[in-house]
Structure 1
Amino acid sequence: MPQTTAVRRPIALIVILSALTAVAPFAIDMYVPGFPELGVELKSAASTVQLSMSVFLIGLVIGQLVIGPISDKLGRRRLLLGGTSLFTVLSVACAVAPTMPLLIAGRFLQGCAGAAGLVLARAVLTDRFAGPRLPFYFSIQSMILGIAPVLGPLLGGLIVTAGGWRAVFWVLAGLGVVLLTSVFLGVSESLPVERRAPQGIGATFTAMGQLMRGRAFAGYTLTLGFAAAAMFIYIGGSSYVFQDLFGLSAAQYGMVFASNAAVMLVANIIFGRASKRIAPSLLLSGYITVGVAGALALAIQATIAPTLGGTWAGLAVVMFGIGGTFPSVTTITQTIGRSRAGAAAALSGGGTYLFGALTSPLSGGEVSAMALYMLIALGLAAIALISARPWQPVVERTLT
């Protein structure tokens, strides 16, 4: 059974684990304001500078798919300590990188190391808690993930203005030191030896295949992946839509982005409260329905007569649906894969960033294209959800 009695200070643990999940989004967004300066200093084209972000996302995917299953065999704590330590060291390496190829290599490895916090934070929560508290704590993690993309560029802009793009990586290194200390002092081993995978490490990767062969787990994981794709399409295209098409300033666009992020936080809060009375699978069905309806309305108005107010409102509805989808799916997939929580977290988390990396360039600068691709992504999310049969009870799947 989960070690609920072993957690003397659950709030402190939740804060640390939430901070671990936020470090990767911060590492994605904080140095974006420094792209022009970075390109000039390292004599690289904009496309090459963008590659340094893409390889970080790839590292996050690969790192989660490797670290998660391994933790089912070796435990969580030592991998958390190792991953956080490497993230700190690699942040320093990026800060002093003299050439673009070295920076790109450092960013890829930094992503692999940063994946430890993302995947193992979910696994530790699954180890420690069960019942109505689990979806509530996952909703808190999702709120942190929603806040990070808003604060990241803002903080990054201040840091770049004060100290240049390299200062961002020094700040990330400092954050790594704080997280490493917090994990060392505040996160004990959550997976006792008797609950670890009895076979070798290779068998823990087999567990991922067993999970994905299950209709429910695969359907819910794909639901999250397609919803994440819609979110990344929005992130990738919204600045062009609101600034180039509707003529908003950077500050005004920041307000629009922040308001939509706030809507996602509201969806998370509602999920955290409602999950005590309503099954997460039913809540997920509602959130996906809202997301699809918002995307459809957005696409219609974008095709007929796109307006600032209509686009803003349509995106707010979509973001509400996506905001509730993240904690819902995480709760469900971690419940199904509780016996191999690391593998389950790797699949859902890795899929999120994989779908995001593949789809973020799709929207371009046209509101109609952004709306259409978001509608397609959320429509596929709805199909994947139906294949998972959300009307059936969610039960743990025992894996060998």
Structure 2
Amino acid sequence: MVAPSPSRAATAQASAGPGSSRRPAAALVAVLGALTAVAPLAIDMYVPGFPSMGDALGASSSAVQLTMTAFLAGLVVGQLIIGPLSDGLGRRGLLISGSAGFVFFSLACAVAPNIAVLTGVRFLQGVAGAAGMVLARAVLTDRFHGADLPRYFAVLSQVMGVAPIAAPVLGGAILSVATWRAVFAALAVLGVLLLLAVLRAVPESLPPERRHGRGVASTFGAMGSLLARRTFMGYVLVVALAAAALFTYISGSSFVFENLHGVSSTTYSLIFATNAVGMLIAGAVFARLAGRGVRLNTLLTAGVGISLLGALAQVLQVVVVGETLVGTWITLFVTVGGIGMVFPGGMSIGQTVGRAAPGAASALLGGLQFFLGALASPLVGLFGEDSSLPMALIMLIAVAAAGLALVGLARPWQGHGEPDDSAVRGGPGA
């Protein structure tokens, strides 16, 4: 499969619709960023209401937590289905349907009579919410090329860094004046606003002549072709394993800072926010350097290296020096900062290498992120609660595995996926 040449890319962009070229890129990217934020908001906004939800529905804490697992499963399944389908059916119709479905299922969550119904509807809410995430990446790949693509992927990555921080705060504010059901009502309102924004600002980016028109089997066959390509899967694994490290940090850091180091929940929020700002700064640095012509593979390699350095320092600190608040904070800041460069780099290169089927490429990039993230999240609690070493080791293993995928499969020195790379090198098996 060959990526479009610059001239072909320009023609494709111009053919995306009569009004598409006149629409401000900033408005489009803003809407796509908001669509990317939906899933993190839906994951974390209702977490502060877990105790009251369990009381209201007569459910155990594990049953309540299962509603989050169901949403994550729906998010993975939805991306793997909607992404490839969009390569054959187009983006806009599926994006509108997914946004409308998210509104409907959010309202269904708000009125769920018991925990079993809520769990089932949360799965469907995840499937619908996946449309915004997977299609945002595909639309960017359809519409933008060259140095623009990594810059806008950096924006999506920054949104993914901010949304998990804002979500519990927003949820807590709602719960201070209403019940947990109001959180899902608020998500429905957000879904309506996004649906209106999609209708107004997101034109079809994949015209019929560029679609995979040989049926559903052919559409999903493109995903199989991508799975068989060493280079593409190398970049997918780099991003997914970095996501596993990030999910481990998100799930384990409150225990480490509040229980082991004795900080208050307010102080922990400050620490978490500071690390998130570091991730945002790293994304901004990535976008700036990419815009100045620094090669994406170089930036991606630097991001993996920085994360590996931070994770290794975290483990050595616990083993050699012992538990220290400042040391843990600094090493996590470095690790998360590196991930802030890995995400836009890996997604930009992965989508460029898989440009022949952007929806399928986006599905694999996003689906595997959340799949490995969901697997990694509960591991910290399984290895005891008297040390931060389990979290540190799991993060180190995930980042080290990302490094191995980068060197062994992606092989960044070959320069795949660069803005000036008009063809994917290495043939079908690459």
Output the TM-score relative to the length of structure 2.
0.91
CA offsets, 1:206-264, max 9 Å, x none? 11111121111011101111110000010110001100111111111000110010010
1:289-368 to structure 2, matched below 5 A, reads: 289-304=305-320, 305-364=322-381, 365=385, 366-368=387-389
Corresponding residue for 2:40? 25
Q: How far apart are residue 7 of structure 1 and its match?
A: 2.9
- Aligned residue identity for 1:380: A
> Structure 2: which amino acid aligns with 1:325?
V
- Equivalent position of 2:399 in the other structure: 378
Could you tell me how far apart the structure 1 residues matched to 2:89 and 2:13 are? 21
Instruction: Give the residue type in structure 2 aligned to 1:7.
Output: S
The residue aligned with 1:278 is 294
Match of 2:69 among 44, 54, 59: 54
Q: d(CA) in 2 for partners of 1:376 and 1:330?
A: 21
Q: What amino acid does structure 1 have at the position aligned with 2:395?
A: M
Q: Which residue of 2 aligns with 1:91?
A: 106
Shift, 1:142, TM fit? 0.7
Whether the aligned pair in 2 keeps the contact of 1:4 and 1:130 (CA below 8 Å) is no
The answer for the alignment partner of 1:394 in structure 2 is 416
The whole-number CA distance in structure 2 between the counterparts of 1:363 and 1:99 is 30
Q: Which residue of 1 aligns with 2:94?
A: 79
Number of residue pairs the alignment of both structures matches: 399
Q: Which of 15, 18, 21 lines up with 1:7 in the alignment? A: 21
Q: Deviations over 1:305-327 (max 9, x none)?
A: 11000000000000011111000
The partner residue of 2:175 within 146, 160, 168 is 160
Q: Aligned to 2:390, which of 364, 369, 374? A: 369
1:240 equivalent in alignment to 2:263: no
d(CA) in 1 for partners of 2:118 and 2:266?
Answer: 30
Please, which runs of 5 or more residues in structure 2 have no aligned partner?
Answer: 1-7, 15-19, 418-422
Q: Residues 84-119 of structure 1, C-alpha deviation per residue, up to 9 Å, x if partnerless?
A: 000000000000001000000010000000000000
> Is 1:42 the counterpart of 2:57 in the alignment?
yes
Q: How many Å separate the matches in 2 of 1:132 and 1:193? A: 26
- Identify the match of residue 288 of structure 1 among 287, 301, 304: 304
* Alignment partners' CA distance in 1, 2:189 and 2:84: 28
Residues in 2 aligned to 1:81 and 1:198: alpha-carbon distance in whole angstroms: 21
The yes-or-no answer on 1:259 pairing with 2:274 is: yes
Counterpart code for 1:301: Q
Alpha-carbon distance in 2 for matches of 1:30, 1:129: 32
3-state DSSP of counterpart to 1:131: coil
Alignment of 1:63 with 2:85, yes or no, is no
Partner of 1:227: 242
* 8 Å Cα contact 1:7-1:128 kept in structure 2: no
Structure 1 residues 319-373: Cα deviation after superposition (integer angstroms, max 9, x where no partner) = 0111110000110011011121000000000010000011101112431110011
State the Cα distance separating 1:165 from its structure 2 match. 0.7
Alignment partner of 2:165 out of 137, 146, 150? 150
C-alpha distance in structure 2 between counterparts of 1:306 and 1:333, whole Å: 38
1:175 aligned partner: 190
Q: Aligned equivalents of 2:412 and 2:224: distance in 1?
A: 21
In structure 2, what is the Cα distance between the partners aligned to 1:21 and 1:161? 26
Percent of pairs with identical residues: 51
Mapped to 2, the partners of 1:310 and 1:106 lie a distance apart of 42
Instruction: Tell me the amino acid that sits aligned with residue 389 of structure 2.
Output: S
**CA distance in 2: counterparts of 1:209 and 1:4, whole angstroms:** 26
TM-score by length of 1: 0.98
Instruction: Quote the Cα distance in structure 2 between the aligned partners of 1:198 and 1:168.
Output: 41
Conserved 8 A contact 1:234-1:363: no
Deviations 1:40-65 (A, max 9, x none): 11111111111000110000000000
Q: Distance in 1 between matches of 2:289 and 2:351?
A: 18
SS in structure 2 opposite 1:232? helix
What letter corresponds to residue 159 of structure 1 in structure 2? Answer: I
CA distance in 2, matches of 1:247, 1:109: 39
Q: Whole-Å Cα distance in 1 between the matches of residues 318 and 182 of structure 2? A: 40
Give how far 1:160 is off.
Answer: 1.2
Instruction: Report the Cα offset of residue 4 of structure 1.
Output: 4.2
Secondary structure in 1 aligned to 2:416? coil
Asked if 1:109 corresponds to 2:124, the answer is yes
- Rounded Cα–Cα distance in structure 2 between residues aligned with 1:100 and 1:351: 27
What is the letter of the counterpart of residue 115 of structure 2? M
**4+ runs deviating over 2 angstroms:** 1-8, 395-399
Whole-Å separation in 1 of the counterparts to 2:38 and 2:301: 30
Native 8 Å contact 1:334 1:344 kept in 2? yes
